[in-house]
Amino acid sequence: MSSSTPAVRAVLTGVALLAAAWLGGNALAREDAREGNDGLARAKARGWSPVELERAHSRYERARRFLPDTDLLVKEGSALVLLGAPQRAAPLLRRAVRAEPENATAWLFLYATLLRGDPAKRAVARRRALELDPAARRRLEPGPAAR
């Protein structure tokens, strides 16, 4: 045996430990994402319950540590918009539209974060959401009761 065998074993052991940690973190992140989805569903069923929305946001935030998924950015951003925290949602949704410029839902929720912001940016987000999903018009415009 050569003198480098203990060093090779140490490196391989380190790599194995890192892989196990990553796999474990990934499994926990997937569970957090599932819990976030469940929390969002509970929030909707309870009239957009702030408690459930905050739980969903927390779970999505934790899941994103191991799962760099645009869908998680959009879901976390949507939970924050529905919580009335558009300033916290905006950075997440901007990242989502940069990563997936064809994501109509991300553009729609980004538009929602800009309702009190820059009119030019708001118009861009609205136009992009409608280009990608013409059916979004009914979600962007007030209904007869609101007019």
> For residue 128, is it within any domain?
yes
Q: How far apart are the first and last CA of the chain?
A: 83
Instruction: With cut-offs at 50, 70 and 90, classify the pLDDT of residue 143.
Output: very low
> For residue 108, is it within any domain?
yes
Containing structural domain, residue 113: 8-146
Which residues 6+ apart lie within 8 Å of 108 measured at CB? Answer: 125, 129, 133, 136, 139, 140
> For residue 137, is it within any domain?
yes
Count how many domains the chain has.
Answer: 1
Phi, psi for residue 64 in degrees, rounded to 5? -65, -15
- Percent of the chain clearing pLDDT 90 (strictly above): 51
> For residue 141, is it within any domain?
yes
Rounded Cα distance, 43 and 52, in Å: 5
pLDDT beyond 50 at 120: yes
> For residue 39, is it within any domain?
yes
Collapsed DSSP state (helix, strand, coil) of residue 27: helix
Task: Read off the pLDDT of residues 11-55 as tens digits, 9 standing for 90 and up.
Answer: 777 776 666 666 666 788 888 889 999 988 998 898 989 999 999
CATH number at residue 21: 1.25.40.10
Task: Read off the pLDDT of residues 63-88 as tens digits, 9 standing for 90 and up.
Answer: 988 888 899 999 999 999 999 999 99
Which residues 6+ apart lie within 8 Å of 73 measured at CB? Answer: 64, 92, 93, 95, 96, 99, 106
Residue 96, class by beta-carbon neighbours within 10 Å (0-12 exposed, 13-18 middle, 19+ buried)?
Answer: buried
Rounded Cα distance, 93 and 27, in Å: 25
> For residue 3, is it within any domain?
no
Rounded Cα distance, 109 and 83, in Å: 12
> For residue 2, is it within any domain?
no
> For residue 1, is it within any domain?
no
pTM (two decimals): 0.76
